[in-house]
Every structure is written in structure tokens, then in C-alpha cells.
A and B are shown apart, each in its own frame.
Chain A
């Protein structure tokens, strides 16, 4: 997840300016990376205010440690790894209020009249359940999907071998599937109920 591919050179230029004493140049870095960092923090806590606080803390730590970026990895890799560290340690100090996995609500059935609302509520229940996973499984899930299912990028952010991350991810998915055994049916039911009458026979055939 990066703002655009040309940002690497801009990042490098801004970092050099900041290290040369131009604090205002840091604004360019914040402008480019604020959305990814806030979204990443949101996935860690699912609280908008807290997400912004966490992202702000990550930027401040980046500012303090900018000289430690040795250009061996891309700026984004360094920044995401630093942010993940900040979010992890801050949430250990003041944990987000989460339900245990067993208490996470089941996705609402398609009985709800408004299909879009039903779908949204069902998906939100699953996303919130991620936060109820044990930390060693939660973080791989958060970072894997944050990095648009790029295992290598998630592994770099967590500074873990890809194999380890893959194993944890697999265990996390198994836990989630066990918690939401009807997930597939719910999704299919929602798709079916929202499909046009012409598409319904195709969906019916796929289900069988």
C-alpha cells in the first residue's frame, strides 16, 4: 500500500532536507503517508480517534529516528515497520476494548430488510473478530490484508520470515472460520438476495 510509485524519490529528497535541518520538509512525508498510516492504525484498533493518535505517534517516532533509515530498504518498508512497532507497543500499554473471540457477534442474517446494511454489519462483525484473536495471530491478519494480501510486504513490516507469517496466518484463518462457520452461507445468501432475477439461476447452480 503506497501513495504512488514516484513517492520513493520524493521521500528520499524530503528525508535529506529534514536531516539537513529543514523541519518543514517533513510535511511532505506526512502528506504522502498519512492515509496509509491512519488506515493501518485503524485496522489495529478500529477506533478512528485512537487511530489518528497512533498514526501521529508513529510520525513523531519517524521524525526522531529519520537518521536511522539507511536506505537499505524502501522508505515505506521502514515506515510501516516502525509504525507497526509503535501500534503494537501502544496497544499493549493501553489495549483497545475488544470482545473475546467467542463473544464476537454472529453476522446478522439476510433477514434484515436492508441488504446493504445487513452485508455491512456482517462484514464488520468479522473484521472486529480479528481484533479478538491472540496478538501473534492478529497482527499477521491485519498486516496481510492491509498490504493487499502481499505476504512478502507483510513479512517485511513484521520483520518475520515469510514462512512463519504464512503459518500464523493459516492458524488465524482457521480460528476465524471456526468462529464463523456459516460465513460462506451468509455471504451466498446475501449475494443471492441482492442479485437480479436473471442472475439468480446462475448463483443457484454455483451453490449446488
Chain B
């Protein structure tokens, strides 16, 4: 930077400092103190906020933690055993081949789905939606 440019920048900064540093002091209005104190007195007179009912909440929170924690542990246990079964699967026959009784449950589920679908169509047809 040229010396004149540097000097100009310095002068300009000094001018800015002079302007921004010299500001007339503003006096608060005469009622300011009273209005602040009025609000403070209001706040002081207001009843204290109701505290959070920790005594009642803590047993519920503990129960929730136990249930969620137990659920998580159970989920991990089931996933691990399922993973173990999958890894052992080639050694055994596929599960779908074996239990014939499971086919009954599958058929029942399919039947229930079919009934639900038919019932919903019937109701929709009666109400003129179809």
C-alpha cells in the first residue's frame, strides 16, 4: 500500500473512531425506574412456579427405562439367536419344508386377509364408494 493510501486509511479510521466514540449520553425517562420496579414487584408477588413432580415421575421413568432396556436386550438376544440359526441353516433342512402345521397358520392368515378385504369392499360398496 502506498504511504499516502495508508495515511488516508489511518485518518479515515481515526475519523470513524471519533464519530462512533463520541455519542451523547441518553438519559432514561423519569418513569423508567418506577416501571422496572413495578414489573419486578409483580414478578416477586407472583406465586412460585409449580415444581416438576419428580417424586411421582421418577417411578414411571424408572419403569419405562426398565421396559425399554429389557426390550432392547430381548431384541438383541433374539437377533443373535436368529443369526446363529441362519449360520447353521445349511446343516439342517429348510424350516419351511418341515412344519406342516405352520402351513395351517399361513392359510388362516391368508383367509383372514381375504375376509377383511371382502368385508371392506362390501362396506364400501354399500356406502357407494365403489
Task: Decide if A and B are genuine partners.
Answer: yes
- A residues sitting closer than 8 Å to B (CB atoms) are 23-24, 26-27, 30-31, 34-35, 38-39, 42-43, 48, 51-52, 55-56, 59-60, 63-64, 123, 126-127, 130, 141, 145, 148-149, 173, 176-177, 180-181, 183-184, 187
A126-B16 in contact given A56-B39, A145-B23, A149-B21 (Cβ < 8 Å): yes
Interface string of B4-38 (1 = CB under 8 A from A): 00001101111111111111011111001101110
Which residue among B18, B26, B43 has the maximum number of chain A CB atoms within 10 Å of its CB? B26
Check B9 against A177 for contact (C-beta < 8 Å): yes
23 example contacts (A-B, Cβ-Cβ < 8 A) are as follows: A27-B37, A34-B36, A35-B25, A35-B28, A38-B27, A42-B26, A43-B23, A52-B28, A55-B28, A59-B36, A60-B39, A60-B43, A63-B40, A64-B43, A126-B20, A173-B16, A177-B12, A183-B12, A183-B15, A183-B16, A184-B8, A184-B11, A184-B15
Check B32 against A27 for contact (C-beta < 8 Å): no
A145-B29 in contact given A27-B37, A60-B43 (Cβ < 8 Å): no
Smallest Cβ-Cβ distance to A107: which chain B residue: B19
CA distance A64 to B46 in the complex (A): 12
Q: How near does chain B come to A176, taking the closest CB pair, in angstroms?
A: 6
CA distance A130 to B20 in the complex (A): 9
* CB-contacts of B58-81 with A (<8 A): none
Q: How near does chain B come to A5, taking the closest CB pair, in angstroms?
A: 18
CA distance A40 to B41 in the complex (A): 25
CA distance A180 to B15 in the complex (A): 11
Q: How near does chain A come to B124, taking the closest CB pair, in angstroms?
A: 51
Smallest Cβ-Cβ distance to A51: which chain B residue: B26
Smallest Cβ-Cβ distance to A146: which chain B residue: B23
CA distance A181 to B11 in the complex (A): 11
Which listed residue, B22, B26, B41, touches A48 by the CB 8 Å rule?
B26
| Interface status of B50 (Cβ within 8 A of chain A) | no
Which residue among A56, A64, A149 has the maximum number of chain B CB atoms within 10 Å of its CB? A56
CA distance A199 to B93 in the complex (A): 111
Beyond A27-B37, A38-B26, A149-B17, 20 additional contacts (C-beta under 8 Å) are: A30-B33, A34-B28, A35-B26, A38-B27, A38-B32, A48-B26, A52-B28, A52-B29, A56-B36, A59-B36, A60-B39, A60-B40, A60-B43, A63-B40, A126-B19, A145-B21, A145-B23, A148-B21, A183-B12, A184-B12
Check A177 against B40 for contact (C-beta < 8 Å): no
Check B36 against A60 for contact (C-beta < 8 Å): yes
